[in-house]
A and B are shown apart, each in its own frame.
Chain A
Amino acid sequence: MTATTERRTVLAVRDLKKHFPIKDGALQRVVGHVRAVDGVSFDLHRGETLGLVGESGCGKTTLGRVLAGLEPATSGGVYFDLSEAQRIQLDQSLKALDGADLAGLDAGHRVDRLSGHDWRRFRRNTQMVFQDSFSSLNPRHLVSDIVGRPLQVHKEASGSALTERVVDLLEQVGLGRQHLYRYPHQFSGGQRQRISIARALALDPELVILDEPTSALDVSVQAQILNLLHELQQSRGFTFLFITHDLAVVRHMADRIAVMYLGRIVEAGSTSELFARPIHPYTDALLRANPDLTENDEGFHGLEGTVPDPARPPQGCRFHTRCVYATPDCGWEIDDVVLQLEETPALFDKLEGVERRSPFDADLQFDDGASSAGLATALKGDHVPESMKSAIEQVAVNDRTVSIRFREVDEVQLTERGSDRQAACVLDALPDRSTQRR
């Protein structure tokens, strides 16, 4: 019985987290964690292309590296090669917190528990193409060594048979026998990326993780590589995880898209749906900022502010600090007050300390009573977004101390929005653009 007719899940990712410690001081004590990937779940089915989009620092590359087994995950699970029945079983036992059931699946499929034969099977079936072909190809090795190395490691071929296999691979990516005994520096950027692809294909893997494969290339060469990748997928049935920041490229390549922001997936869905009807304001902002996607006469728009510190991600929805449609339920918190304060140096210089009872409730200590009263009035001013004002439950000025309490909000979770479509937003649909704040 072959598995060709059945839908197989190449990777099932469940609540995956990857935190990097921040060390400080003479003893290098851990003072915090950068939450590069912070609770990501998705399925990747055999033969499809999933596009993973986001700006720099959103954790998409880290996620790719964890999935390829290059970095251990902090928590959560990556399950490799599940049948449909196994996938359903996995979700049920995760929901029921059934340890016994999970243990069975973990042994043969959970990537960080694999060993011996299973681990080798996973590694040979998961290959990666990196963004920078300068640093991912060893400058001291010949092309024949680079492309042939996976075949040697897995004892697939040796001697002249190995050379023939390498020539065969090079021809598949549009290079030839004449390129066998050259060094990477003798090739152009596009050709080097072809070598990377040939190396990734050497073991005929199930899954290829493409981490920004065309970002360093010119558009005419990018088109060559994208065509090549599509051809190879057609002829050999690969599953692609396509990581990129370029929405025009993923629209062209991906069947489904997941949009990441600050370590979490904020929206996922089929490519056509997501482009036609974005739900999350961040997706909308990305679409509107891309000159390839906006029409000629339509102006394109950027986003205010900067990406928040991933060591202290905002409460509620992580995007609320920059969102033009933010509502009182989006997780306004004390940090937003501090952010506003930083823009008014006269008050910020007088700030002595912040005593937090929770992210939503704190006392702000000032040097003098005038400043604390100043903050209380500033919070009612035009500078503060309406939605933030409405989220404030209490402001109490007591001499030099201001107590502020915001409405408490839970982290906004990814929810189902129709078939195979998820979004993490408190709103049901993207509001009309005329209702933007600012």
Chain B
Amino acid sequence: MTTAPIEAPKTTAPVVASVRDLRVHFKTKAGIVQAVDGVDFDVRDGETLGLVGETGCGKSVTARSFLRLVPMPPGIAVSGSIMFRPRMRCSSCDGAGCSICGNTGRVVSICPACSGAGCDTCEQTGAETVDLLTVPERELRAIRGNRIAMIFQDPGKALNPALTIGKQVAEVFYAHRSDELLTSAGIDPASESLQNYVLRRRASQESRTPENLVLSLPPLRTRRNAISAAADAMVAAALNETQIPNPRAVMDRYPHELSGGMKQRVMIAQALACDPDLLIADEPTTALDVTVQARIIELINELQERHKTAVVYISHDLSLVRKVADRTAVMYAGRIVEVGESDQIFHDPEHPYTRGLIDAIPGASHERGRLAAIEGTVPELIDPEPSCRFSGRCAYAEQVCRSEDPQLEPIDHRQVACFIHHPPDHGVAPTFARTEQ
């Protein structure tokens, strides 16, 4: 399945990641569950893309595929591609923001295969392009937490209960910023001496027991401590950025000593520590109270503004996504049914499912007991027949919806997968007029 680039009136920013025909299947006793079944979308540089859908629609699985975090087994097959274009610090302004990098402080990395001339691996763009689904594990480790970071739904479960906040946030720096740690500890990372070798291993958390023993002896002890101090300083700075009061005191605490909102701030600090190009936020505020949720959203927006990070914001809460996202993709049963600018989608939804979702939110205008519920439940995704996945619950469905797959096709600045807007070649096309009868 090929997809035309999504036209938008507002932005033509280059794409950070493009997902093409992503399929993730799980094997269960009942059969093969097609949790994600042909998903296409682009994430543009610096934007927030909202991914909305109900429980079980495959939004979390899509997100986890970005970092290959889908467990195998029970996952049996992931196909399609997720092309990611990492960025690097702009050399002319050193990250401060200039005209060359468009004030983002970052430029696209040059494709190593063709040095920017344009070749097949980079799809003629000249920018370094990595397929996250096929890249070797070792290279992926360099991307995880560094170029792409993730915030999980339940900060209580995502943080390690046995490590202090300071220790677990520092791991990001040990994994991805060991050179910076060495430099700020006054050690030349390029030096080849044996002492430096040991220190370098220490700064990337690779040192083993004998090396640690050597490091605890007087000649190296002070420098080892300088590395820890440098890491602590970086952690404190990262925590400070998420407006955690008194970060030095928080670093000595364990996750259970912090409130939910505070834990989520730690997660955000950890995710943004390496200034990633893409942040995947999987229901980051679902476990929080509304007043705390609003603070966290404000914080994410503020940090995104400063770091120019692209964000994929996953949520089941439409009203929230409307507030947060520039563009929104609505998912249903493993597929995207509608993508477009958020305002447009919420004011004038085109897909019957999007309409249903928006009408189901209890609003001031609804008479009590007259909420527009979507009847039925989400279908099982075990070996589905070709059909519109929503046809079983759709008030407008015709015969053709139950026998053919509607494709995601463009209509005025957005894409919709529905036969109402793209009538099939044969059979009776459904229309919105039908239920009014």
| A residues in contact (CB < 8 Å) with B | 55-56, 188-191, 218-224, 226-227, 230-231, 234, 245, 247-249, 251-253, 275, 285-286, 288-292, 294, 296, 299-304, 306-307, 342-343, 345
Given the complex, which residues of B lie within 8 Å of A224, measured CB to CB? 373-375
Evaluate contact between B295 and A248: CB separation under 8 angstroms: no
B360 contacts chain A at the CB level, 8 A cutoff: yes
Q: Given that A219-B361, A291-B322 are contacting pairs, would A245 and B290 also be in contact in the complex, using a CB cutoff of 8 Å?
A: yes
Assess whether B360 is in contact with A219, with CB atoms less than 8 Å apart. Answer: yes
Name 7 interchain pairs, CB-CB below 8 A, sorted by A: A223-B360, A296-B343, A301-B298, A302-B296, A304-B295, A342-B249, A345-B246
Measured between alpha carbons, how far is A245 from B290 in the docked complex, in Å? 8
8 Å CB contact of A292 from B54, B294, B298, B362:
B362
> In the bound complex, what is the Cα–Cα distance between A288 and B298 (angstroms)?
13
Q: Give A342 to B247 CA distance when docked, in angstroms.
A: 11
Asked if B179 is at the interface of the complex by the 8 Å CB criterion, the answer is: no
Choice from A188, A230, A285 contacting B377 with Cβ under 8 Å: A188
Q: In the bound complex, do residue A296 and residue B374 qualify as a contact, i.e. CB atoms below 8 Å apart?
A: no
Bound state CA distance, A190 and B343, in angstroms?
Answer: 30
Q: Which of B108-116, B363-371, B401-409 contacts its partner?
A: B363-371
Residues in A whose Cβ lies below 8 Å from that of B224: none
- Check A289/B360 contact, CB under 8 A, given A218-B55, A223-B373: no
A248 (CB) vs chain B CBs: closest residue = B362
Top 3 A-B pairs, shortest CB-CB distance: A302-B295, A230-B369, A302-B294
A296 to B323, CA, bound (A): 7
Establish whether residues A291 and B370, one from each chain, have CB atoms under 8 Å apart when the complex forms. no
Query: Interface on chain A toward B: helix, strand, loop, or mixed SS?
Result: helix
Instruction: Name the residue on B nearest A218 (C-beta).
Output: B54
- B294 interface neighbour in A189, A191, A296, A301, Cβ under 8 Å: A301
- Of B5-13, B91-99, B120-128, B313-321, the one with at least 4 CB within 8 A of chain A: B313-321
- The answer to whether B356 has its CB under 8 Å from any CB of chain A is yes
| CB-CB under 8 A for A222 and B360, given A252-B368, A289-B293, A291-B322 | yes
Q: Please tell me if the beta carbons of B291 and A303 are within 8 angstroms of each other in the complex.
A: yes
Given contacts A292-B362, A345-B246, contact A220 B298 (CB under 8 A): no
Chain A residues contacting B259 (CB-CB under 8 Å) are 306-307
Q: Tally the A-B contacts, defined by beta carbons under 8 Å.
A: 121
Contact A220 B357 (CB under 8 A): yes
In the assembled complex, B289 has its CB within 8 A of some CB on chain A: yes
B246 in contact with A302 (CB, 8 Å): no
CA distance in complex: A73, B263 (Å): 33
Question: Is there an interface contact between A296 and B362, defined as CB atoms closer than 8 Å?
Answer: no
Which residues of chain B are near A301, meaning CB under 8 Å?
294, 298
B372 within 8 A of A: yes
Residues in B304-360 with C-beta less than 8 Å from chain A: 316-320, 322-323, 343, 346, 356-357, 360
On chain B, the residues within 8 Å of A191 by CB distance are 377
Q: Please tell me the size bucket of the interface on B.
A: 35 or more
Cα-based distance from A252 to B248 in the complex (angstroms) = 45
B293 contacts across to A, CB distance below 8 A = 289, 302
Let me know if A230 and B368 touch, CB within 8 A: yes
Shortest Cβ distance from B292 into A: residue? A302
- Other than A223-B362, A289-B293, A291-B323, give 13 A-B pairs with Cβ distance below 8 A: A190-B377, A219-B357, A227-B370, A252-B362, A286-B291, A292-B319, A294-B323, A296-B322, A296-B346, A302-B291, A302-B296, A302-B297, A343-B245
Alpha-carbon distance A296/B261, docked complex (angstroms): 25
A283 to B372, CA, bound (A): 28
CB pair B363–A292 under 8 Å, yes or no, is: yes
Chain B residues with Cβ below 8 Å from A219 are: 54, 316-318, 357, 360-361
- The answer to whether A218 touches B289, judged by C-beta atoms less than 8 angstroms apart, is no
> Are A226 and B246 within 8 A (Cβ)?
no
A251/B322 contact (C-beta < 8 A), A220-B54, A303-B295 known? no
Q: Is B267's beta carbon under 8 Å from chain A?
A: no
- Does chain A have a CB within 8 A of B420? no
Q: Which residues of A contact B319 (CB under 8 A)?
A: 248, 290-292
State how many angstroms separate the Cβ of B299 from the closest Cβ of chain A: 9
A285 proximity list for chain B (CB < 8 A): 291
Give chain B nearest CB distance to A282 CB in angstroms: 9
Judging by beta carbons under 8 Å apart, are B362 and A249 in contact?
Answer: yes
Which residues does chain A contribute within 8 Å of B246, judged by CB atoms? 342-343, 345
Residues in B neighbouring A296, C-beta threshold 8 A: 322, 343, 346
Given A218-B316, A220-B54, A302-B295, also A55-B362 (CB < 8 A): no
B323 touches A300 (CB 8 A): yes
Pairwise interchain contact A220-B374, C-beta atoms closer than 8 A = yes
Q: Which of A220, A251, A289 contacts B356 (CB 8 A)?
A: A220
Q: Which of B294, B297, B318, B322 has the most CB of A within 10 A?
A: B294
CA distance A106 to B85 in the complex (A): 73
Q: Which of A218, A252, A299, A343 contacts B371 (CB 8 A)?
A: A252
Complex Cα distance, B245 from A342, in Å, reads 9
Known contacts A227-B369, A289-B294; A306 and B261 CB within 8 A of each other: yes
User: B291 to chain A: which residues have CB within 8 Å?
Assistant: 55, 285-286, 289, 302-303
Contact of B36 with A by CB under 8 A: no
